[in-house]
Amino acid sequence: MRQGLIGRRTFMAGCAFVAGGFIAIPSQASTVIGKASDIRGKVDLKRAEKNEGLSAGGDIMDKDYVVTGAQSFADLALEGDTRILLGSKTELLLDSFIASQGGTMELGMGQIVFDRPEGLPKIDLALRTTFGMIGVRGTKFFAGPNRGVFAVFVEHGQVSVEGGGVQRLVGAGEGIEIAKPGDAPTETVKWKEARIAEAYASVGLKR
């Protein structure tokens, strides 16, 4: 994966992961949207051009840019019972987030697990990546490098994956792969338990 956060123009020219009905949701900067519930290793936070270390219990705000170091993990508890786990050497910009509605985030590199329990009201959230955008409506999924490709796995819920002029619906227990930015996603396949556990372990989560 290319280092650093992608630009808006680069993203618009690339492939996209889109969930039906997504609408960008504006939010105010410096709004507290959650806390760091667990930090392992070195995790840094950039806020309003200021860099600082992030520790357990620290506030998470809109526009925060979270970066994990080697062999480091972050577990972020956002409003609305939403959980985000970041793996080693991961960069995430929390562009905007409203608990009951959704928002946008940007994954510059690395891997995450987004977890929102089943049964809660659906939200519309977009996760931009170098490979496109994942549209989410209340679900649990993994996204990031896995076995030499960019992969998306859905544990529950559904996402729509679009790239290279091809669209795939990824449902519970299914995953797709994208070899490089601009490529079409593969056909969906059922992931075996070993691969699911491997992907989750990359963000410090035990299966």
DSSP state letters, 3-31 = SSPPPHHHHHHS-EE--TT-------TT-
pLDDT at 5: 44
Global pTM reads 0.84
pLDDT at 135: 87
pLDDT at 118: 87
pLDDT at 30: 65
pLDDT at 190: 98
pLDDT at 145: 97
CATH code of the domain made up of 16-201: 2.60.120.1440
pLDDT digits (tens, 9 = 90+) for 66-125: 999 999 999 999 998 999 999 999 999 999 988 778 899 999 999 999 999 888 888 888
User: How long, in residues, is the chain?
Assistant: 207
- Please, which contacts does 163-170 make with residues 24 or more away whose CB atoms are closer than 8 Å? 163/14, 163/15, 163/16, 163/17, 163/131, 163/132, 164/15, 170/141
Give the integer Cα–Cα distance in Å for 121 and 119.
7
DSSP secondary structure code for residue 179 in this structure: S
Give the integer Cα–Cα distance in Å for 178 and 101.
28
pLDDT at 98: 86
Query: CB neighbours (10 Å) of residue 35?
Result: 15
pLDDT at 19: 40
Q: Where do the domains of the chain lie?
A: 16-201
- Which residues does the chain have with pLDDT short of 70? 1-30
